A = this chain, B = another copy of it.
Amino acid sequence: MPKQNIYDNEVFFSGYKGIRDQEVNANVLFEIPNFFEMLPSVEGKKILDLGCGFGEHCKRLVELGASSVTGIDISVKMLEIAQKENADSKITYIHMPMEDISTLNDHYDIIVSSLAFHYIEAFKPLIVDIYRLLTEGGVLVFSQEHPFSTCYRNGFERWTKDENGKKLYLNLCEYGIERENESKWFVDNVKKYHRTFSTIVNTLADAGFSIEKMVEPTPDETILSQYPGYRDLFHKPDFLLIRAKKN
């Protein structure tokens, strides 16, 4: 199956880096805090980060006490930044698509992945590989785009709005049809893979995982008072986060 590397496209890379350099966005407000809150204690733990990108999570995991972190990513450009900005003696960055992790000859206490799985076509083999790479009782924590986002078809109307432009409804279209969707995000033809809740849950369960926690972040009153636009997340959460334990 083809492995998608949008991050080494120049146009995409600079657009993406622009978002990541923002001080406030949905990642900062919702994805990152929920991601770290869902983690078990990382103290003394050996961790693998799938799609580590700029390595911010690797660095933070070391700061939180991880004994070692291996970050892999398909993008050379991302790893160059990671080496420059988030190097550490306890971190090893490896240039590798996550579809190839079965070639790793090691085991990990915790495997994490932040906002990458929706780019992966072969989800089931990936989850099976992750299960195999975890130690007994090891934990997978991942975030991905919410299924309400991955099921969006490029060119369709995403929202029904009132005459003042206020979002009334999310236009949910063919949630039940799993598929590759092409969307434009800085560049054309970014491929995302739509999977339903049941497919995600069953893939984990069939591989032998117990799901311990699922989060679909929405804003609290503090965030809403500062950033009322995030009220839209009540119609469509941006992210889905899951913690699953190897039985």
Residues in chain A within 8 A of chain B (CB atoms): 148, 156-157, 160, 168-177, 196-198, 201-202, 205, 210-216, 218, 233-237, 247
Q: Is the pair B168, A171 in contact by a Cβ cutoff of 8 Å?
A: yes
Q: Is the pair B205, A211 in contact by a Cβ cutoff of 8 Å?
A: yes
Choose from B169, B173, B198, B205 the contact partner of A173 (Cβ within 8 Å).
B169
| Chain B residue contacts of A247, Cβ below 8 A | 210
Contact A236-B201, Cβ < 8 Å, known A160-B160, A196-B216, A211-B211 = no
Would you call the interface of chain A mostly helix, strand, loop, or mixed? mixed
| Chain B residue contacts of A177, Cβ below 8 A | 218, 234
Q: Is the pair B202, A213 in contact by a Cβ cutoff of 8 Å?
A: yes
Q: Is the pair B172, A169 in contact by a Cβ cutoff of 8 Å?
A: yes
| Chain B residue contacts of A211, Cβ below 8 A | 201, 205, 210-211
Contact A205-B216, Cβ < 8 Å, known A148-B172, A174-B234, A197-B197 = no
| Chain B residue contacts of A173, Cβ below 8 A | 168-170, 235
Q: Is the pair A175, B213 in contact by a Cβ cutoff of 8 Å?
A: no
CA–CA, A171 to B169, complex, Å? 5
20 CB < 8 A contacts A-B: A148-B175, A157-B169, A168-B171, A170-B172, A170-B173, A170-B175, A172-B172, A174-B234, A175-B234, A175-B235, A175-B236, A176-B233, A176-B234, A196-B216, A197-B197, A197-B214, A197-B216, A201-B201, A201-B214, A202-B213
